[in-house]
Amino acid sequence: MRDNIPYMELVCPAGTPAALRTAIDAGADTVYCGFRDCTNARNYPGLNFDAKELREGVAYAHAKGSWVLVAINTFPRAGEVSHWHRAIDTAAECGADAVILADIGLLDYAMRTHPNLRRHLSVQAAASNPTSIDFYRETFGISRVVLPRVLAVDEVASLISRMKVEAEVFAFGSLGTMVEGRCYLSSYITGRSPSSDGVCAPAEFVNYREDGAYMESCLGQVVMNRYAKNENAAYPTPCKCRLVTNDNASYLFEEPVGLNAVSILPQLKAAGVTALKIEGRQRSRAYVGQVVTAFRTVLDALARGEPMPDAAGELHRIAEGGRETLSAYKKGWR
Amino acid sequence: MSKLTLGPLFFHWKPEQRRDLYFRIADEAPIDCVYIGEVVCSKREPMYYDDLPEIIERLQASGKQVVLSTLALITSDREMAAIADRCGDEMMIEANDVSAISLLQGRPHITGPFINVFNEPTLDFMVRQGSVRVNLPVELPGTSIKTLAGMSPVETEVLVFGRQPLSVSMRCYHSRAYGLHKDSCQFVCETDPDGLAANQLNGNALLRVNGTQTMSHGYAVLLRELAELQAAGVTHFRLSPQVTDMVRVAEIYRSVLDGDLDAEAAEALLHNATGPVPFVNGFVHGREGMAWADA
């Protein structure tokens, strides 16, 4: 545990070197990023880092007392594992403070090859109970687990009370509804998957068709949603599409909402959460700056024992399309 | 010789329908190994657990290996305790969550398809833990299957028939579709023994919802690919129970595995046996899973 963290560690997305600097300047305790390839779960055009950029990013972060985590959190394809091994080696050489891993083979490799490099268990591993988390700790020496978004707040507390590693939880951003690391909806529809390609519903498969007074958003050949022409169209993610069951069209899995846990930060703190994760490496630098600034303000106020400041309202405004959810943190969500 | 297996029943069937399936499989089907147990939702388990000893006995008496499959998502203490209890039994267990892998460490067990074994080092690790058979995730392309089956020192298994599990969630979409919550679900999933159709807005079929699980609408059908998978070293071929004549399905697959029936003829027979549900095979061809690639 770092001693300069007053309340909970704020872990922020750095999709690009510029976003990394923005996040750190706005008060991120930690940033996370990935390499420009399928070794990370945000493998989108125009994002991510090469080795030189990572080295510079680490220097910038360390000069300000911040940490850099490198997400190498996809599952290596058979026959291509060495590519993922090189990503771990590079993260270590660049001075990253930890790697975020999900694949068991990669955890094993990192532990043996770079024993002094901190290992965090990615949410993609979906470790959802004390036995699993203990297994990853005992076997691969993980220092932290990013909890899957399946637990209510009281369950998060109960789990943390029985585990011997730090807990990081998602606090804000655009997140799916399926258990992480085991969702094949994107590859079912497009052939490209979060698991090994590091993408969900990639933009090159998104298309829009006019249908009379309506606009249809499609992923590949599949209709994801239908809008009136003056309506805002959400990105056609499979777990936030509109489907018909028993003649009734609905957002069967989840409405196009964003996670915003700012209202329950004190409960998460009381539950023993070490770090809060902001999703959004694919978001603009301006978005990252706004969200990190607001969270910094909120966390500093809470650390001083003050009531929830106005910045919380800013986060409500920024949340996806103005619509937000507490997701699984709230029991009735199930 | 290639083995044919019956995977765990994903759907919530009435106890009598479940018994009928397993008794018929025991008495009539050319299947070598049957996986039983609830994989999707722990709330369902008590409703048919009384029948399990008799089902197991009947299957074993017919010479079939019986394997108990665990839940794919384990969050509560009650679920964890039930799994721990079973892992202490004599029965062979299929672990579908890493916690079960941990509990079974050092004793023979089977790695289930919900554990992400995507590559050689992970498969090696599972073998060191005591896995004697590894199920490969349904998303894997044929290139990965061949690499893994080729290097594996233990048995490997691939799903070759049935709706493909595509995701698992904490949220019950079945309840949600019926305006209910998971905690007071009234077991509505029982009304859809073949899953609840979830179609596109244009009416085209897309998915099936089964409680907290989402599945492909189409049946995965790997018949033309069987010979190549056998040659690559895959030892076990899994049929996933659907509302169709599973004995007939097993007979067709057995004939193709034995070289007594060619794959195209088998496909036609299978279509006749299973009705209008489309066939898909995209994943194994490295394409979108919902595709049908004429191999």
Instruction: Reduce the secondary structure of A198-231 to three states and give it as a string.
Output: CCCCCHHHEEEEEECCEEEEEECCEEEEEEECCC
In this prediction, the residues of chain A whose per-residue pLDDT falls under 50 are none
B39 contacts in chain A (CB < 8 Å): none
Q: Determine the residue among B42, B76, B122 to mutate to test chain A binding: the one whose Cβ has the most chain A Cβ atoms within 10 Å.
A: B122
List of chain A residues whose C-beta atoms are within 8 Å of the C-beta of residue B102 = 131-132, 134-135
CA distance A232 to chain B (A): 18
Task: Assess if residue B262 is contained within a domain.
Answer: yes
B164–A188 C-beta distance less than 8 A: yes
Considering the domain boundaries, does residue A2 fall inside one? no
CB contact under 8 A, B182 and A334: yes
Q: What phi and psi, each to the nearest 5 degrees, are found at residue B281? A: -155, 20
Same domain, A152 and A279: yes
Q: Is residue B250 part of a domain?
A: yes
Six-digit token string for A181:
């690391």
A48 and A159 together in one domain: yes
Rounded CA-CA distance A196/A79 in Å is 12
Return the H-helix or E-strand segment holding A169: strand A166-173
Q: Is residue A273 part of a domain?
A: yes
For residue B280, which amino acid is it?
A: V
* Cα-based distances in Å from B166 to A178, B66, B70, B253, B266: 10, 25, 17, 23, 26
Chain B residues whose beta carbon lies within 8 Å of the beta carbon of residue A104: 116, 121-122, 125-126
* Residue A139 half-sphere exposure toward CB, CA atoms < 13 A: 24
Query: Is the separation of the CB atoms in A127 and A144 below 8 Å?
Result: no
Q: How far is B207 from chain A (nearest CA, A)?
A: 9
Which domain-ending residue is among A211, A228, A250? A250
- A40 with A153, same domain? yes
Q: Is residue A3 part of a domain?
A: no
Angle at A190 between CA A284 and CA A194, to 5 degrees: 55
Same domain, A238 and A163: no
Q: Which two tokens stand for residue B259?
A: 């070289």
d(CA B53, CA B201): 45
Question: Residue A269's pLDDT is what?
Answer: 97
Which residue stretches of chain B have pLDDT < 50?
A: none
Residue A1: predicted pLDDT = 58
Contact assessment for residue A42 and residue A309, using Cβ atoms and an 8 Å cutoff:
no
The reply to whether A31 and A86 lie within a common domain is yes
CA B248 to chain centre: 17
Within-domain flag for B205: no
Q: Which of A250, A273, A297 is the last residue of a domain?
A: A250
Q: How many CB atoms lie within 10 A of CB B178?
A: 18
Looking at the partner chain, which of A131, A191, A333 has a beta carbon nearest the beta carbon of B171? A333
Report yes or no on B69 lying in a domain: yes
Buried b (16+ CB within 10 A) or exposed e, B71-101: bbbbbeeebbebbeebbeeeebbbbbbbbbb
The CATH number linked to A75 is 3.20.20.70
Contact B124 A155 (CB under 8 A): no
Residue ranges making up the domain that contains A204: 185-250
Position A1 in a domain: no
The whole-angstrom separation of Cα B21 and Cα B17 is 6
Two tokens, residue A334: 């199930």
User: Measured between CA atoms, how close is A211 to chain B, in angstroms?
Assistant: 11
Residue of chain B minimizing CA distance to A187: B288
Nearest to A214 by CA among A185, A173, A242, A181: A242
Chain B residues in contact with A334 by the CB 8 A cut-off are 170-172, 181-183
How confident is the model at residue A4, as a pLDDT?
80
Q: Do A290 and A224 belong to one domain?
A: no
Q: Name the residue of chain B whose CA is nearest to A125's CA.
A: B116
Token pair of A225, please? 């949603």
- Under a CB-based contact definition with an 8 Å cutoff, are residues B166 and A184 in contact? yes
DSSP secondary structure letter of residue B9: -
- Verify that A15 and A37 share a domain, yes or no: yes
Q: Which two tokens stand for residue A197?
A: 């390609």
Determine, yes or no, domain membership for B102: yes
Structural domains of chain A, count: 2
Alpha carbon B120 to its chain's center:
22
- Residue type at A30? T
Q: Which of B114, B202, B282 sits opposite A223 (nearest CB)?
A: B202
Taking an 8 Å cut-off on Cβ atoms, the answer to whether B283 and A187 are in contact is yes
Supply the range of the domain harboring residue B129: 3-165+216-285
Which residue type sits at A251? Y
Contact residues on chain A for B200, CB-CB shorter than 8 A: 222-223, 243-244
Interchain pair B139, A195: CB under 8 A: yes
Nearest of A123, A99, A118, A98 to residue A39 by alpha carbon:
A99
DSSP, residue by residue, B263-281? HHHHHHHHHHHHTTPPEE-
Name which of A70, A75, A59, A52 is nearest A24 in CA terms: A59
Neighboring chain B residues of A106 at a CB cutoff of 8 Å: 121
CB A234 within 8 A of CB A215: no
Answer whether residue B8 is part of any domain: yes
The Cα of B62 is separated from the nearest Cα of chain A by a number of Å equal to 35
> A249 is written with which tokens?
């069209």
Say what the pLDDT of residue A191 is. Answer: 97
Helix axes A130-140, A104-113, angle to 10 degrees: 40
Do A146 and A200 belong together in one domain? no
A246 in the same domain as A137: no
Closest CB from B97, B138, B169 relative to A177: B169
Residue ending a domain, choose from A221, A250, A279: A250
Distances (CA, A) of B132 to A118, B102, B109, B124, B137: 32, 15, 6, 11, 16
The answer to whether B98 contacts A181, with C-beta atoms less than 8 Å apart, is no
Q: Look at residue A318 and tell me if it is in a domain.
A: yes
Domain annotation covers residue B293: no
Cβ distance A132 to B201 less than 8 Å, yes or no, reads no
d(CA A89, CA A75): 17
Residue in B99, B124, B156, B164 to test binding to A, most A beta-carbons within 10 Å: B99
What is the number of alpha carbons within 13 Å of residue A101 lying toward its C-beta? 27
A40 shares its domain with A117: yes
- Residue pLDDT, tens place only, A90-125: 999 999 999 999 999 999 999 999 999 999 999 999
Q: What are the beta bridge partners of residue A108?
A: none
Same domain, A326 and A203: no
Count of domains forming chain B: 1
**Minimal Cα distance from A139: which residue of B?**
B102
0.90 surpassed by pTM: yes
- Residue in A130, A183, A223 nearest the CB of B201: A223
Q: What is the pLDDT of residue B11?
A: 98
Please check whether residue B179 lies inside any domain of the structure: no
Contacts with B125 from chain A: Cβ below 8 Å: 104-105, 108
Is the domain of A241 the same as that of A201?
yes
Give the pLDDT of residue A230.
Answer: 81
Q: Which of B97, B207, B284 would you mutate first to test chain A, the one with the most A CBs within 10 A?
A: B207
- Residue B281 belongs to domain with CATH number: 3.20.20.70
* Residue B256 tokens, joined: 């193709």
